[in-house]
Structure 1
Amino acid sequence: MAERMYLYDDTVQTNTRFVSFMGENARFDLAIIVSDRYYGKKLVLDIQGGRFAIIGQDDLDEPGYLEEAYNLNEEDAEELRSFLYEIV
């Protein structure tokens, strides 16, 4: 058996916030993970959709970023973006 080559294997402390809210058309069930790993950005997991993204202010300002990352239409992405602006 070949020896496993690790690129990294770290254990870090994190803060995780679980939040669920209802938008006009969609429910959002999120886990928001904060650590020193992502240069001030947050790891945002869509629990029901099985998608995640590393998000900072610059990502929220990027057109189409949330739509692509979470497979959302424009209206649902705008509701998520509005929430994330409050916490990023």
Structure 2
Amino acid sequence: MNQFERLYDEHENVKVRFVGFTTEHTRYDFGIVYTNLFFGKPLVVCMQTGRSTLLDPKDLEDPEHLQHAFKIENHLQAEDLCEFLKITLPSTTFHTQYE
């Protein structure tokens, strides 16, 4: 049964933040997983749809990126989400994972 080549198998105690909020247009419920893996980028999970993505501050400069990642139909809703995440996610420099 050597059909799988294991790339990584890490165990880590992580900090998770659950946040729900509303805007004029919609309600959001997210889980944000802060980990040292994935170049230190937080894993943002939409609790309503199960969609997730790794985000860094540069990703938040492009609302279309969030619109695509979370399948948001309205561009204004994506802009609202970007604004919220800009004040919620850390603006740290990420490290290289594979050295």
TM-score > 0.5 by shorter chain: yes
Q: Deviations over 1:8-47 (max 9, x none)?
A: 1111121000011112221101000001112232110001
* Partner-residue secondary structure (3-state), 1:60: helix
* Partner-residue secondary structure (3-state), 2:81: helix
Q: Post-superposition shift, 1:65?
A: 0.4
Structure 1 equivalent of residue 46 of structure 2 = 46
Alignment of 1:9-88 (within 5 A): 9-72=9-72, 73-88=74-89
> What percent of counterpart residues are identical?
33
For structure 2, the residue ranges without an aligned partner over 5 or more in a row are 90-99
Does residue 5 in structure 1 map to residue 17 in structure 2? no
**Native 8 Å contact 2:63 2:79 kept in 1:** no
Q: Post-superposition shift, 1:70?
A: 0.6
Aligned residue pair count: 87
Output the aligned Cα RMSD.
Answer: 1.3
Q: Post-superposition shift, 1:63?
A: 4.8
Distance 1:63 1:28 in 2: 16
For structure 1, the residue ranges without an aligned partner over 5 or more in a row are none
Greater fraction strand: 1
Distance 1:38 1:60 in 2: 17
TM-score (norm 2): 0.80
